[in-house]
A = this chain, B = another copy of it.
C-alpha cells in the first residue's frame, strides 16, 4: 500500500480512566517515528473540538509533559459525551479534516465513540477522501466486545481491591461489635468493577472480606440480602459489602437511584445504593452500618494504577498509529491474552462496527452459586490485570500531574453554526 502523507488527529471521548492519557502518550510517541505523519494534532473535547475546529498542536508539548501523561488521570485533551447525530455534523467533521489535511484519526473511547469513529470512516470512504481511522479501547466498565479486556479496567479494580483490603483491616480491628460496612462502586449496567473487589481476598483465607458482593447481574432480593448479612455476622462478627451502583430487582428496576430526588425543601430523599443498603441493614438487621461511595475517585486514582494496565494502554495507542501507517483503517485495537500460564498480551484488531454494536457481559458462570462472590475463573481472568505498581513523581507531597499547554492550531474555516 502506498504511504499516506498528511496530519494526524487524536481525540478522547466518554468517561476518563486512570490510563486513557497513557494511550494518548503512546500514540504521540509512535506518531513521531513516522515521516508520513506531518503534524500531530489533538481535538479538544472529542468530536465537539472537531465541530468547533478547536485543534491543538501536540508536537508543541514538552517531552516531559508527554511522559507525565502516562500517569495523569482525566482526559488531558478534554472529553465529551456528544454523539454525532445529524448528517450535517458528520459532513462538518470531514470538512474540518479536509481543511487541516487530517489523514489519520485516532479516537480513544468506548462503544459510542467507536461507533462515531466508524461512521466518520464510512463517510470519508463514500466521499473518496483517503482517511485512516483507528479506535483505541478505553473504559473502566470493561464492557467492549472482542477485546480480552479494556485498558482502564485493571487500574480501577486495583484501586477498589486495595481500598477493600485496607478498609477490611480497619473494620476487622473494631471486632468486638457487629459492624456492617458498605462500599459502593461504579458499574451502571454490569458488575465488572464490583467483581474486582473479590481480588482483595487472600487465596488462603476464604473468610477474608469482601464477604458479600452485589452485582447488577443478580436480581436483588431484600429477604436474601438480610439473610446474607445475618449469616456473615454470625460467622465473622463483621460484614463487608461491595455493591455495584446499578443493582436491579427481579423486574429489572434500579433498586435505588443514584441521582438525588429532592422535596420542596431541597432535602435529599435518597442517596445511592450504598446508602439504601445501609438503611436496610439498620432497619431490618438492626445493626449499625457505614457506607462509602468512591465515586469519580475510582476512575481517577492513578496513584494506585496497575503497571500492566498502563503498559497495555500505552501499547494500544502505539499500535493504533503503527497499523494506520501500514494501511489499516476502520478497526479498533484489541488486547489479546497469550496462551501461556504466565500472563502476556499483544494487540490485535477488530472492525469498529463489531465494537459499536456489542457489549461484553460479566459471564454468569464466574459468579458463585451464592450470588455474592466470584469463583476462580474470574480471579484467573482479573488478577493478571492488576499486577505492578507505577512510581509517580511527587511535588510537595502530591502527584505531579500533566497539564497540556494546548497551543491552538489556527482556524481555517468559518465558525460552525450547527
Binding site for B on A (CB under 8 A): 12, 16, 45, 48, 72-80, 158, 161-163, 165-176, 181, 183, 199-200, 203, 222, 256, 259-262, 266-272, 275-276, 278-280, 282-284, 289-297, 299-304, 306, 383, 386-389, 394, 396-399, 401
Contacts and interface: CB of A to CB of B under 8 A. Distances in A.
Given A176-B48, A200-B398, A166 B301 contact: yes
Nearest to A274: B293
Contact of A170 (B283, B294, B300): B300
Contacts of A12: 173
A276 B283 contact: no
A295 B291 contact: yes
For this chain, the copies found in one complex come to 2
A256 B267 CA distance: 9
Contacts of A302: 166
Contacts of A172: 74
B401 A383 contact: no
Contact of A280 (B266, B386, B399): B266
Given A74-B166, A271-B271, 8 more contacts: A73-B169, A76-B169, A166-B297, A260-B278, A267-B276, A269-B269, A304-B304, A383-B397
B78 A296 contact: no
A367 B84 CA distance: 46
Contacts of A266: 222, 279-280, 283-284
Nearest to A182: B295
22 contacts: A12-B173, A73-B166, A74-B168, A74-B169, A74-B171, A74-B173, A75-B174, A76-B169, A166-B302, A169-B401, A259-B282, A260-B282, A261-B279, A262-B279, A262-B283, A267-B270, A271-B275, A275-B275, A293-B293, A303-B303, A303-B304, A387-B397
Contacts of A300: 163, 166-167, 169-170
